[in-house]
Structure 1
Amino acid sequence: MVQPTAPSHGWPDDPVPLAPETAPVPEYTSGSLGDLLPTLVAGQGVSGFTHRIQELSPADRNCVFLIDGLGWEQLRAHPDEAPYLTSLLGSSRGGTGRPVTAGFPATTAASLASVGTGRYPGTHGLAGYTVRNPESGELMNQLRWKPWTAPHVWQPYPTIFRLAHEAGVHTAQVSSPIFSDTPLTKIALSGGTFHGQLSGEDRMDHAAEQLAGGDRSLVYTYYSELDGAGHRFGIDSDAWRGQLMFVDRLVQRLAEQLPPRSALYVTADHGMVDIPEGDDHRVDFDEDWELSAGVALLGGEGRARHVYAVPGAAADVLTCWREVLGEQFWVASRDEAIALGWFGDEVDERVRGRIGDVVAAAARDDVAITASVSEPHESAMVGMHGSMTPAEQFVPLLEVRS
């Protein structure tokens, strides 16, 4: 019988596995996306919240503009395409510009839930792009919400928007109409009123109107097309640069309409890296017998994987993934990842089973674990994200005050 040969990844034959404790854990409790809204509403006098991000001063009216996929490093690398945003990196307009961390994994569903609830993935429970539902044993896509799961059972905590609204703050979300009634909106961004606006310009104008709608206001607005261009064409593409130029004009349009006593905060849910083609950069799980051995389900995404082992195989899967991925990924057991704080300072019991038996996070900017058969769309993407590298983790927190 001919024995199968080991897959070739183009990596060192005897790599030294990266220790999980060397991964740069997000700045939970003081400098992450989950700390932004608690800080803002604490400054508005909403009880139960504390001032977590010390550099931010209170304002009566706060607007958060979240630009999907705009990483701190990508913004700093493109000053010509984003002159207005670049000007906010300093303090020339009465505000400050600094990076904050997205949280792990650095992916949209997890980050939006962190923003809206003021909690971290280990407690709100949206701990990946796809995770296993412990009740059904199926993979759940938490961005598309498939298969259907009762939203407020999956994420039971109230949003900050709801709590601020109940405290008398004028609260609104201004976004594309397609997001008006999605499960992710319900459990992460609902509270007050939702205002659907198709064009980016209309969103900026309407956000300014809503901001002026109360003596104390909390307004959220969102733009997704930059992220889409990055996934399809990469952040080194004309399409991505064109979207960045448009976003820059949107931010300036909104900033110039701020009513008195307002603060505008521009941020993002994650950064992005371009993954080259070829086996040296893309490991296809569906074609790799070593990585797939003993694995029942593969969750997460290319840069941040949840690996669910068949019963009794978790230790062997952990050993194999460390040996195969070597120095390219931080590979941890579930217990290690939780103890190291990858998902925040606490992990709710209902969330533990959603985290993989093995968690693998890319440590280099040019590698990913794809799945060409089970994830053909995601595997074809140029731009990817999810891990704890600076290019993915650091997102801007830019401030304009009136």
Structure 2
Amino acid sequence: MSAPPPPVPRYGTGALSDLPPSVLAALGVPGAANVLGLPPAARVCVLLIDGLGWEQLRAHRDEAPFLNVLSGRAIDAGLPATTVTSIGSLGTGLPPGGHGLLGLQVAVPGTGRLLNLLRWRDDAGVDPDEFQPVPTVYERAAADGVAVGYVGARHLRNTPLSRAASRGARYLAADALGELVGRAEAALRAGDRAFVTVYHADLDATGHRRGVDSAEWRFQLRFVDQLTERIAEALPAGALLCVTADHGMVDPGERLDADRTPALRDGVALLGGDARCRYVYAEPGAREDVLATWREVVGDRAWVAPREEAVADGWFGPVAPGMVERIGDVVAVPHGGLAITASEREPWLEHMVGMHGSMISAERLVPLLTASGPT
């Protein structure tokens, strides 16, 4: 059986990267395109629930009654459907190829090494302002007089990833659900116009540890539903709440260990990406052999393409100059129940149950739900 055609994200018409410019347009910021048709609002809160896929939300109506009665639709996360990439798209309003935060682990061109963007530290020697040089939507909003806040966990304040994707916003640390609501409400009331992002990560973490349809995940979804309802209740008059996510999640039933499959190591200099979207960086002169081998070993369990083909087919949206080298020479994206692990190089994946990154609908589709404050 041949692989189905890859469902490329709808960049420019219905993708996560279209939400930020639509928010700016709703706030009246000049030059922003309202692709998603958001209503005008003086205050906008974007609630980013890590790991809340559209299909998972619709399959758990009893656990999320409030979320499931909000008006909205599904939009597409980018490729990879993963936190780093989606946070980059939400921070810049660009598809992955435009901002360059192209996955969990990407090659730093010219260095011969990978950079883990979630574990990115200041001592990595990579300047976040240079690695992601595009002005953020928060900087654009602030320049137009909008009060901009970002509410998230204390340990994420001023990390390189936060600086790359959310510079320009005032970071408001909040670790408990009540703090998230309280700090969001206060930030929304600042100034004549306000743009506030609230980030909550616990649903994703529970899915990784226990699985996306575990009892623990379902209980956590109940807390997420309550968080959303409390924020909606706290909206100032005329404010708009946009609820979205960075990706969905699946529990892969099959694992292919690249570290214990000699053929998948031959000619490979670096293995980046993640288990559901692999970047394979070939040694000089070995690219064609690596491509052929990965296609043979992985077979029809993944979309396997050379970098140039993946870029030309729009997997990452338009790719800005200097970004293409961050993508592997070969891109392997599982579309069934396969996870491509690396037990020696990435031991953290060995105990992970839920995963994400692929273009399949369970991982690619995320909600865009809206609610309004009192009139």
From 30, 38, 42, the equivalent of 2:25 is 42
CA contact (8 A) 2:148 2:169 kept: yes
More off after superposition, 288-297 vs 299-308: 288-297
Gaps in structure 2 of 5+ consecutive residues: none
From 266, 278, 284, the equivalent of 1:311 is 284
Q: Which amino acid aligns with 1:101?
A: D
Q: What do residues 368-400 of structure 1 show as CA deviations (whole Å, max 9, x unaligned)?
A: 100111101123210000010000000111100
Q: Which amino acid aligns with 2:313?
A: L
Q: How does 1:140-289 map to 2 (within 5 A)?
A: 140-145=115-120, 147-276=124-253, 281-289=254-262
Q: Structure 1 residue 114: deviation in Å? A: 0.3
Partner Cα separation in structure 2 for residue 50 and residue 205 of structure 1: 31
Q: Which amino acid aligns with 2:40?
A: P
Q: Which amino acid aligns with 2:322?
A: R
Q: Structure 1 residue 148: deviation in Å? A: 3.6
Q: Which amino acid aligns with 1:213?
A: A
Gaps in structure 1 of 5+ consecutive residues: 1-14, 89-95
SS of residue in 2 equivalent to 1:350: coil
Hey, what does 2:263 align to over in structure 1? 290
Hey, what does 1:321 align to over in structure 2? 294
TM normalised by structure 2 equals: 0.96
Hey, what does 1:10 align to over in structure 2? none
TM normalised by structure 1 equals: 0.90
CA contact (8 A) 2:28 2:40 kept: no
More off after superposition, 287-296 vs 245-254: 287-296
Q: Structure 1 residue 351: deviation in Å? A: 0.8
From 86, 108, 132, the equivalent of 2:83 is 108
Hey, what does 1:28 align to over in structure 2? 11
CA-based RMSD of the aligned residues comes to: 1.2
CA contact (8 A) 1:308 1:357 kept: yes
CA contact (8 A) 1:158 1:187 kept: no
Q: Structure 1 residue 58: deviation in Å? A: 1.9
CA contact (8 A) 1:330 1:362 kept: yes
SS of residue in 2 equivalent to 1:184: helix
Hey, what does 1:62 align to over in structure 2? 44
Hey, what does 1:351 align to over in structure 2? 323
Partner Cα separation in structure 1 for residue 259 and residue 300 of structure 2: 21
Partner Cα separation in structure 1 for residue 175 and residue 359 of structure 2: 33
Q: Which amino acid aligns with 1:374?
A: R
Q: What do residues 45-102 of structure 1 show as CA deviations (whole Å, max 9, x unaligned)?
A: 2122111113x222111100001011001111111111111111xxxxxxx3101111
Q: Which amino acid aligns with 2:120?
A: W
Hey, what does 2:370 align to over in structure 1? 399
Q: Structure 1 residue 354: deviation in Å? A: 0.6
Hey, what does 1:91 align to over in structure 2? none
Q: Structure 1 residue 363: deviation in Å? A: 1.2
From 45, 62, 84, the equivalent of 2:66 is 84
Q: How many residues align?
A: 371
Q: How does 1:362-401 map to 2 (within 5 A)?
A: 362-364=334-336, 366-401=337-372
Hey, what does 2:114 align to over in structure 1? 139
Hey, what does 1:126 align to over in structure 2? 101
